[in-house]
Amino acid sequence: MSSSLARPTHGRMIGGVCAALARRFHTSPTTMRVIFLLSCLLPGPQFLLYIALWIFLPSEDKARTAW
């Protein structure tokens, strides 16, 4: 398994950020999505961080072709 962080092409809901983080931390994507939704109840830049990760994390197919 690769240790690089890339958004998967399958199993994504919106941008695949939660699925990528779930794969990296060895948990289910549903758990990551629930954690993200619960974190939205707290003040902070959660949505900006999600959008930034969506922009800067490569898609899995593009990450594969880069090597």
Q: Which pLDDT score is estimated for 4?
A: 75
Q: Which pLDDT score is estimated for 60?
A: 84
d(CA 20, CA 15): 10
The domain limits of the chain are: 1-62
pLDDT tens figures, 18-67: 999 999 999 999 999 999 999 999 999 999 999 999 999 988 877 566 55
Q: What torsion do the CA atoms of 6, 14, 19, 54 make, to the nearest 10 degrees?
A: 30
pLDDT exceeds 80 at position 16: yes
